[in-house]
Amino acid sequence: MKEEEKNNENPLKVNRRHFFSQLSVGIGSLALGSLLIPDLFKGGGAQPLAQQPLGIPHFAPKAKRVIYLFQAGGPSQFESFDYKPTLKKRMGEDLPESIRNGQRLTGMTSGQDKFPLMPSATNFKQYGQSGAWVSDYFPHIAKIADEITVVKSMHTDAINHDPAITFFQTGSQISGRPSMGSWMSYGLGSENKNLPSFVVLTSRGKGNSQGLYSKLWSSGFLDSKHQGVMLRSGKNPVLYLNDPDGISRSDKRHLLNEVSQLNKMHHVETGDDEIESRIAQYEMAYRMQMSVPDVMDISKEPESIVKLYGEDCQVPGTYAANALQARRLAENGVRFIQLYHQGWDQHGNLPNAMAGQAKDVDQASAALVMDLKQRGMLEDTLVVWGGEFGRTNFCQGKFDPKDFGRDHHPRAFSIWMAGGGIKPGLNYGKTDEFGYNIVENPVHVHDFHATLMHAMGLDHEQMTYKYQGRRFRLTDVAGNVIKDLLA
């Protein structure tokens, strides 16, 4: 062996003397380690459910995929699904302290010395067999009242946007945990190997927008292949989909093979599992080149479908376009599709802004449910519509029924769900006459997560991931499956 080569030897390789001197320390620390952590070297043996090979549900699922229509910012329940005639009767009266009961307020209203009750900016009517109350802002959703289940008793722990949305997405107010879509991808794997199992689409309404960050669809400590893949809302959902001129598919394949060889060598040297993730991502990108253009091509949709979702659905980046896109992705086996629509933060100018926001999402959301239904996909696709918290029953700032605002309210708000595993046409939960506190069947965010996972065939208590010495789960140490909601 040449001297030069010797020096170039992998630094991880050691000589004999070095090896033995290290060995004594090594064995000693192994022994110490096993004393400190008894199950450190425990083998497989009979594995509990949680450690079984993933990619398989714990029990037969009702839903195979989720389309989550996230209304970022906190839509007001008083202008959507929680009808409170008392507010009209007692309009302008101060919110009784017995109702508020010392609940904390955000910095935006904590300075107010009065909390005048503000009735809904719009009218409500009952719809369908279920008799669900829906406001005039949502005429299309009203038409499908019997397909959806309205939960009026959601409550959360957080009162400001960032912690609240992080809580809803990851089960923790502090960022860093895997998003629920990542948990699903981790637990269930993907249906279509050519598309990511977790896809994110974003759109922006005209209302006051709160930020969206990739941490909301991050895989946290899970393998990064489970992170949400955000599709761009412009004309090209994925950049560089087309091969450049003069490069054939086989050239590309050849290049990828070589790169993957290099990466594998690097993996052997460092043992960093993220390199394997990287290899998998390159392969996924290669396959997406084949499948994404086809999946995302809305022009293939017939006229009737375009009309159903509304003409907006032909404009890339709109909520309607994303809703239609979501159906196409679901059809092609994407496990978890999350839409975010920004702009639901009506601290002021609520009547106008809320009407506008509702118009953005009303028709396409309802169309999505009907479209899924006619395709037989509502049977195994769970659709969720809702934000991170609700809004106060009193007005923020000046009392003016024509132009007022509502602050954040975590104690009670409404969402709706439809499809896979959820009972249709149900009105679940009740708030008090002021719409402030829950008086019947509360559903905490953890309960919601547990129920969602249950519908997908996962036991939220078994779905754990050991990281930094403890086991984590989406529902932390809480969460009950709300059986009443299950079909």
Partner 1 sequence: MTRILKNRWVDYAILGLSVFLIFCLIFDAYIELPNLVAWLGRWHPLILHFPIVLLLIAVFLGLTGKKVPDQLLVVAVLSALVTAISGFFLGKETPVKGDLLFWHQWLGGGLALVASLWYVLANRGLSGTVYTKVLQVVMVGLVAVTGHYGGMVTHGEEFLALPTTKKEKEIPENPVIYADVVTTILDDKCVSCHNPNKKKGELLMTNLEELLKGGESGQTLIPGDPIKSQLISRLHLPTEDEEHMPPEGKAPLTQNEIEILERWVALGASDTLRFDQLPKSEPLVVLVKDLMEPKAESKWEKLPVVADSTLQNLASDYLTIERMAANSNALSVDVYLPPEYAAEPIIALERIAANIVELDLSGLPIGTVEMDFVSKCQNLEWLEIDKTPVTDAEVKKLETLKNLRLLKVYETSITDKSIAVFKNAQSLKNLYIWKTDISQSALESFKNEKPGLSINYGINPEIEAFFVASDSVAVSK
**Among the residue ranges 38-46, 176-184, 287-295, 313-321, the one whose residues contact partner 1 (CB under 8 A):** 287-295
Residue whose CB is less far from partner 1, 7 or 299: 299
d(CA 216, CA 176): 9
Site string for partner 1, 343-362 (x = CB under 8 A): --------xx--xx-xx--x
CA distances from 353 to 43, 75, 403, 404 (A): 59, 11, 10, 10
Q: If DSSP codes are grouped into helix, strand and coil, which group holds residue 203?
A: strand
Considering the complex, what minimum distance in angstroms separates the CB of residue 435 from partner 1?
Answer: 19
Q: What are residue 405's DSSP bridge partners?
A: 396
Give Cα 15 to chain centroid, integer Å.
Answer: 52
> How far apart (Å, rounded) are the C-alpha atoms in residues 417 and 4?
68
For residue 60, give Cα distances in angstroms to 2, 421, 455: 62, 11, 9
CA distance 257 to 261: 6
Strand partners, 94: 116
Q: Show the DSSP H helices in 302-378 as ranges.
A: 303-309, 319-331, 350-374
Please state, in angstroms and rounded to a whole number, the distance separating the CA atoms of residues 410 and 154: 8
Stretch that binds partner 1, among 158-166, 173-181, 260-268, 286-294 (CB under 8 A): 286-294
Residue 484 binds partner 1, judged by CB under 8 A: yes
- From residue 294 to residue 313, what is the string marking binding to partner 1 with x (rule CB under 8 A)? x---------x--xx-xx--
Enclosing H/E stretch for 414: strand 413-419
- Minimum separation from the CB atom of position 376 to partner 1 (A): 4
Both tokens assigned to 79 = 């202008």
Q: How far is C-alpha 22 from the chain's CA centre?
A: 48
Instruction: Using the minimum distance from each CB to partner 1, give the nearer residue, 257 or 304.
Output: 304
Give me the least distance between CB of 380 and partner 1, in Å please.
9
Task: Pick between residue 30 and residue 439 the one whose CB is nearest to partner 1.
Answer: 439
Give the residue from 438, 420, 427, 435 showing the smallest Cα distance to 486: 420
CA angle 361/364/366 to nearest 5° reads 100
The smaller minimum CB distance to partner 1, of residues 169 and 381, is found at 381
Q: What minimum distance in Å lies between the beta carbon of 461 and partner 1?
A: 12
Q: Which residue has the tokens 């809702």?
A: 386
Region binding partner 1 by CB under 8 A among candidate stretches 3-11, 94-102, 222-230, 363-371: 363-371
Q: How far is the CB of 40 from partner 1 (least distance, A)?
A: 26
Tokens of 108: 């935006």
**Virtual torsion, Cα 358, 359, 360, 363, nearest 10 deg:** 100
Q: Which of 136, 162, 223, 433 binds partner 1 (CB under 8 A)?
A: 136
Q: Write each residue from 26 to 65 as x if it is in contact with partner 1 (CB under 8 A), else as -, in one continuous string.
A: -----------------------x--xx-xxxxxxx----
| Pick 10 or 123: Cβ nearer partner 1 | 123
Binding segment (CB under 8 A) for partner 1, from list 96-104, 210-218, 463-471, 478-486: 478-486
For residue 95, the minimal CB distance to partner 1 (Å) is 24
Under rule CB under 8 A, residue 374 binds partner 1: yes
- Rule CB under 8 A: is residue 477 a binding residue for partner 1? no
**Residue 91 in tokens:** 């309009």
CB of 180 to partner 1, least distance (A): 20
For residues 138-157, which are near partner 1 according to CB under 8 A?
A: 139-140, 143-144
Q: Residue type for 287, please?
A: R
The counts of H helices and E strands in the chain are: 13, 17
Query: Which uninterrupted H or E stretch holds 288?
Result: helix 273-296
In the region spanning residues 114 to 133, those forming contacts with partner 1, defined by CB under 8 A, are 121-122
Q: Which of 287, 293, 348, 461 binds partner 1 (CB under 8 A)?
A: 287
Q: Which spans of this chain sit near partner 1 (rule: CB under 8 A)?
A: 49, 52-53, 55-61, 121-122, 136-137, 139-140, 143-144, 189-194, 287, 290-291, 294, 304, 307-308, 310-311, 331-333, 351-352, 355-356, 358-359, 362-363, 366-367, 370-371, 373-376, 379, 423, 426, 457, 483-484, 486
